[in-house]
């Protein structure tokens, strides 16, 4: 499918269209399972994965648990959607995280005080890569200023474009 060209597109701007085309090929459209507006109502409610056992953190009080990270790292949006549930998953019973604190190689989380003290695991959803790809494509498509790239392509890039202006407008001491 041919991509619409930007108005007044110069040959130097075609490099951006090539990049956008490559990103579209490498990052296909993805639907987010079970999320409203994605057109996939029959999908699983989420794509969370079991990331480790939760043990009671008695030092912090009721509802606090510790999970060894073992080199794993999570983005803040993933932690916001994470929950504690049995090893089988959170379909029947889950406890949403109220608070999370990263403490070295431990993730300390607080859930409801009535959560069972044993048998819970941390479930963290996968990253929504579809939104990341869309954001990348939107950002690339929004680039409209090509002056620096144009000067580099013509071999006219000045390492300090204001150098001449400063010399012309310098005040005598």
Domains (range + CATH), the chain: 48-129 (2.40.30.60)
| Per-residue pLDDT tens digits for 71-92 | 888 888 889 999 999 999 878 8
Phi–psi pair at 125, nearest 5 degrees: -70, 150
- Mean confidence (pLDDT) of the chain: 77
Question: Is residue 60's pLDDT more than 70?
Answer: yes
**98 within 8 A of 110, measured Cβ to Cβ:** yes
Q: pTM, whole model, 2 decimals?
A: 0.54
Identify the residue with better confidence: 112 or 22: 112
Identify the residue with better confidence: 119 or 89: 119
| Per-residue pLDDT tens digits for 10-59 | 544 677 778 888 888 877 665 544 444 443 333 344 588 999 999 999 88
Handedness of CA 149, 151, 155, 161 (dihedral sign): negative
Over range 63-77, report the average pLDDT.
Answer: 91
For residue 83, what is the enclosing H or E element?
Answer: strand 83-85
- What are the respective helix, strand and coil percentages of the chain, to the nearest 5? 30, 20, 55
């Amino acid at each position: 499918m041919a991509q619409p060209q930007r108005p007044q597109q110069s040959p130097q701007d075609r490099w951006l269209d090539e990049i956008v085309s490559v990103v579209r090929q490498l990052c296909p459209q993805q639907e987010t399972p079970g999320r409203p507006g994605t057109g996939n109502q029959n999908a699983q409610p989420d794509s969370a994965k079991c990331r480790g056992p939760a043990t009671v953190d008695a030092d912090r009080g009721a509802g606090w648990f510790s999970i060894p990270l073992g080199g794993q790292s999570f983005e803040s949006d993933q932690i916001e959607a994470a929950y504690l549930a049995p090893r089988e998953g959170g379909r029947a019973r889950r406890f949403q995280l109220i608070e999370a604190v990263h403490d070295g190689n431990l993730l300390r989380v607080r859930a409801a005080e009535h959560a069972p003290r044993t048998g819970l695991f941390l479930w963290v959803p996968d990253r929504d890569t579809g939104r990341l790809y869309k954001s990348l494509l939107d950002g690339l498509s929004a680039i409209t200023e090509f002056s620096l790239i144009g000067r580099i392509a013509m071999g006219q890039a000045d390492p300090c474009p204001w150098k001449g202006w400063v010399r012309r407008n310098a005040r005598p001491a």
